[in-house]
Amino acid sequence: MAKVREMRKEDLDEVYRINKESFTTDAWSRFSFEKEFENKHSRKFVLEEDGKVIGFVIFWVIKDEATVMTFAIDKRYRGRGYGKLLLREGIKALGNRVNKVLLDVRKSNIRAINLYKELGFKVVRERKGYYSDGENALLMELELN
């Protein structure tokens, strides 16, 4: 049974592997993940299945707003509802002080956009040339209260 829990430093090998296989451009460096453990705004979660890390999400929480900084599911486990479970439980774990969750997603990533819409996110606006390869991003928002 899959469960969401706080990320630990010993999860970094698997988290970094999933990150590298999920993002061809704009992937986080190993150092970036390590620095998250020193970031007071960072809330980090992993999704485990049978004791194995199969996904991760990192939020930055500032005042009453959370931003999804990075999120991915191991490619072998995609399309089974794990992404929805991880985001839903991660957002729930942020607590009542968060009123809004924001994220940026590639305009071409229809699968992710549909997942976010299923969770209640709405497109706020398009960001031109947001990614390093020039692709536009959609800024999406989820109102919680």
DSSP the chain: --EEEE--GGGHHHHHHHHHHH-SSSPPPHHHHHHGGG-TTEEEEEEEETTEEEEEEEEEEETTEEEEEEEEE-GGGTTSSHHHHHHHHHHHHT-TT--EEEEEEETT-HHHHHHHHHTT-EEEEEETT-STTS--EEEEEEE--
Quick one: pLDDT at residue 80? Answer: 94
Average pLDDT over the chain reads 96
Q: With helix as H, strand as E and coil as C, how does 87-122 read?
A: HHHHHHHCCCCCCEEEEEEECCCHHHHHHHHHCCCE
Q: Structural domain boundaries of the chain?
A: 3-143
Q: What is the mean pLDDT of residues 17-45?
A: 94
d(CA 107, CA 123): 11
Q: How confident is the model at residue 145 (pLDDT cuts 50, 70, 90)?
A: confident
pLDDT tens digits for 100-132?
999 999 999 999 999 999 999 999 999 999 999
Quick one: pLDDT at residue 26? Answer: 84
User: Rounded to a whole number, what is the largest CA-CA distance in the chain?
Assistant: 41
pTM (predicted TM-score): 0.95
Q: Which fold has domain 3-143?
A: Aminopeptidase (3.40.630)
Q: What is the mean pLDDT of residues 44-55?
A: 97
